[in-house]
Amino acid sequence: MTEPLAPLVAPGPPLTPAQLARYSRHLLLPQLGELGQRRMLNARVLVIGAGGLGSPLLQYLAAAGVGHLGIVDDDRVEASNLQRQVIHGVADVGRPKAESARDAICRVNPDTEVTLYQDRLTAATIGMLDGWDVVVDGTDNFPTRYLVSDECARRGIPEVWGSVFRFDAQVSVFWSRPPAGSGFAGVTLRDIFPTAPPAGSVPSCAEGGVLGAMCGQVGSMMASEVVKLITGTGNPLLGRIAVVDVLGGRVTEIPFLPSGTPIPATAADTEAELDAAYCAVPVDDVPAEDGVRVGSLTAAELAGLYDGDGHLRHDVALLDVRRPDERALYAIPGSIWVPLDDLLGGAGVADVPDDRRVVVYCHSGVRSLRAAHHLARTGRRVANLEGGVLAWWRLTGD
């Protein structure tokens, strides 16, 4: 078995009497002890995302005594987050997630210093990664995951990574340049997944759902990996991916090796690659493959298409392309329904009016854009609802 890595962080000052009392259960662990606790108090950990995975991560790292935590999140707390994002509460709905998370951390451990980055991580803001010992990726979108992983690889920063969807999850540690002689090979996200999947091919948690309790389980696993790296305790999941099957009650370990997949030279190169392959799908006036153009509509513009009695204008058809279970939970008033699979298969196209402008929606606007392109090629006048049902909820409160 590979030997444990050397501790990542040097020990800080001797513990105070109050710290000896607070961290006494850690001090009893021979593999951790007083020296390990001093390393944690001296550590700087950047957590990207204060959502489902970031919630348990941040709380357990603060409770464990990590001295300085950074939080990157530009989102606000929504009611639908509370099912799994346990760092936030009902009173936090509408607040910036980073601020809500900081306040919760201060309640857990007021001695933990917190730095907030309330901005989206892009090539222009990648300097957020400067000066941290470990970066933890708790995000839920592929462009950010690849940008984070590639930049950590370029800088040689160890990265703890996790991903959740429905009842399944994955956890691993990536480090392009582990210490020489450690016995560990340098690996990155691209050694498992060389490229991001095409846009719309993998539903998000907002579209497919996620078991809230699993986020706590996986976030805690990730926090443990951070502690192991900081203190040199145990063997990290470096070159191994833990696959969690909650319904089956199994955790399977899959080893992996460097694949030789190249890392783009700069953050701008990574962003350009992802823009071309995945995320840069303009929402407004999108050109279809055959030159047909697809328009867009905001939730506010859609609301303006209803009369005073709440009826949709007669010259507009509103099309829902979500799954049956999503439709059963909620539908925008006046919409007709043809599931995306039926539409793309051809069977459902005849159910879509061709004598009116068609506004297509799904949960967040990704699947509906595919449907809009498909319908535009049949000669229909089509627009995509930006942000889907989520945007409609935010506007109307329905």
Alpha-carbon distance 313 to 334, whole Å? 9
Alpha-carbon distance 191 to 185, whole Å? 11
How many other CB atoms are found less than 10 A from the CB of residue 349?
17
Q: What is the rounded CA–CA span in Å between residue 93 and residue 151?
A: 32
Q: Check 106, 152, 215, 362 and give the catalytic one.
A: 362
Helix, strand and coil in the chain, % to nearest 5: 40, 20, 40
3 state SS of 115: strand
Tokens of 322: 């979500």
The β-bridge relationship of strands 286-287 and 293-297 is antiparallel
Structure token pair of residue 66: 């990590």
For 233-297, the DSSP string reads -S---BTEEEEEETTTTEEEEEE-----PPPPSSHHHHHHHHIIIII---SSSEEPTTS-EEEEE
DSSP letters, 342-361, are HHHHTTTGGGS-SSSEEEEE
Single out the catalytic residue among 152, 205, 215, 279: 205
Active site residue 215: no
Contact 84, 210 (CB under 8 A): yes
CA 3 to chain centre: 32
Instruction: Identify the CA nearest to 341 among candidates 354, 323, 359.
Output: 323
CA distance 360 to 373: 10
CA distances from 281 to 240, 277, 321, 369 (A): 34, 9, 19, 9
For 30, the enclosing helix (H) or strand (E) is none
Q: Is 106 one of the annotated active-site residues of the chain? A: no
Using DSSP's 3-state secondary structure scheme, residue 395 falls into helix
3-class secondary-structure state, position 183: coil
Any idea which residues carry the catalytic annotation?
Answer: 205, 362
